[in-house]
Amino acid sequence: MAPGNRRERERAEREQLIIRTARELAETEGWEAVTTRRLAAEIEYSQPVLYSHFSGKAAIMTAVAAEGFVELATALRAARTAATGVRESLAAVARAYTDFARERPALYDAMFTHAVDLQFASETTPDALQAGFAEFLEVVGPVAGPDAPGLLAETFWAGLHGLALLERSGRLLGQAHDDRLTLLIDRLTVPR
Amino acid sequence: MAPGNRRERERAEREQLIIRTARELAETEGWEAVTTRRLAAEIEYSQPVLYSHFSGKAAIMTAVAAEGFVELATALRAARTAATGVRESLAAVARAYTDFARERPALYDAMFTHAVDLQFASETTPDALQAGFAEFLEVVGPVAGPDAPGLLAETFWAGLHGLALLERSGRLLGQAHDDRLTLLIDRLTVPR
DNA sequence: CCAGGAATCCTAGCGGTGCTAGAGTCACCG
DNA sequence: CGGTGACTCTAGCACCGCTAGGATTCCTGG
């Protein structure tokens, strides 16, 4: 069974190589540049190898998206724990979120625009998703007032998601990002 | 010059036919079903005819998106004028917006996910875009307080956009749409 | 009414896509 | 050392967006 382990390990490594290469390609040249031929050439294997690891291109994108959710959760957690105070935590998490979306547009697209098959209530990769949402819950809890924290967290998240997308497509005025973020936090996080 | 006019008119009609067919196809079977071959077959012309009207498939989608912006602006305006009172107007516009996104997902995608070339500060089709945004401005004005109305309108819009997208991809809990909408309105539209 | 020119449209094809069947090669094991 | 199984590659399918070129139709001037 000795070689079997090596084969398995090498296989796992190659799978990681595929995911990493797809992500790098997407982040540097956009997802439209990530074709199965190009990806195969980049990892120095033939196309069919990709299909021995993933059921198709969509599955590869989903794998990249899963990585993204892990990193997003990490970033949110780091922002929250580094901040002190309710208002500061909210602002830190909000900023970390929009920064993430702005700095990794291709990754963010894989997570939210493509890869719709990644459900929240599923068992495929719910850990990172729930972990990310938990950060919102944590930071929003103190200002929930009579409202359900889950509801407020979802709405807060939606606001950030909308801001990230609209700003990226150039549909909001110039550089007022900070002002909009402040407005969102100021208003959304004050119970009536 | 008599036949010239007829030709022109027929040409314009065919262009409308292309846009309408593309939209119907997208709304019934999704944008992935809208191929130039399929579209050409549907209008009973050959593929090159499409390219005598539009520079490419993207331009056709943009034309559909432009139609969508007109209808969205109309829907928002209707909702606002039908409502009386500040709070009611806000709720009506918000509901009209999310209803629009939910009932016409393909159209909404064309407007916001694809067709990124439709800029806000451009002269191509800014009328409907500005008209739609104007409705937000109108309805948000009374509750702006010390904040700039434009900023609040953008943030309000972003919240609705985020809610629409996240709910559609099944990433928010079940049927709590009304509660989230109420929460967004209650909190976002109260000056500190 | 007809010939010529212009406008229009379609057939055929290019290079590309995601994906797969089958052949070939290599590594392992008895 | 030979057989067997796992693995990988070549070649190809059906489709995509898009376009060159020829055929057909239509309008116009004589």
pLDDT band at B72 (very low <50, low <70, confident <90, very high): very high
For testing the chain A interface, which of B155, B175, B182 should be mutated: the one with the most A CBs within 10 Å?
B155
A1-54 domain in CATH 3.30.420.40?
A: no
Say what the pLDDT of residue A116 is.
73
Question: Which tokens belong to A171?
Answer: 């549909």
Q: Is the dihedral of CA B119, B125, B127, B131 positive or negative?
A: negative
User: Could you give the CA distance from residue B110 to residue B126 in angstroms, rounded to a whole number?
Assistant: 16
Indicate whether A18 pLDDT > 60: yes
Residues of B whose CB is below 8 A from A113: 113
According to CATH, the superfamily of the domain at A64-188 is Tetracycline Repressor, domain 2 (1.10.357.10)
Q: Which nucleotides of C are covered by protein (CB under 7 A)?
A: 7-13, 16-22, 27-29
Q: What is the pTM of this model?
A: 0.92
Are the C-beta atoms of residues A152 and A131 closer than 8 Å to each other?
A: no
Say what the pLDDT of residue A125 is.
53
- Residue B106 CB coordination number (10 Å): 23
Say what the pLDDT of residue B1 is.
40
**Residue extents of the structural domains in chain B:** 1-54, 64-188
Per residue in B23-50, pLDDT tens? 999 999 999 999 999 999 999 999 999 9
In B10-165, DSSP assigns E strands to: none
Q: Cα–chain-centroid distance for residue A85? A: 25
User: Could you give the CA distance from residue B187 to residue B181 in angstroms, rounded to a whole number?
Assistant: 10
Nearest nt by C1' to A50 Cα: C19
Say what the pLDDT of residue A104 is.
97
In the block, tokens 């409308």 appear at B16
pLDDT band at A2 (very low <50, low <70, confident <90, very high): very low
Residues of A whose CB is below 8 A from B163: 155, 158, 162
User: Could you give the CA distance from residue B179 to residue A88 in angstroms, rounded to a whole number?
Assistant: 26
Mean pLDDT, to the nearest integer, of A57-82? 95
Q: How far is CA A189 from CA A26, A27, A137, A156, in A?
A: 35, 33, 12, 8
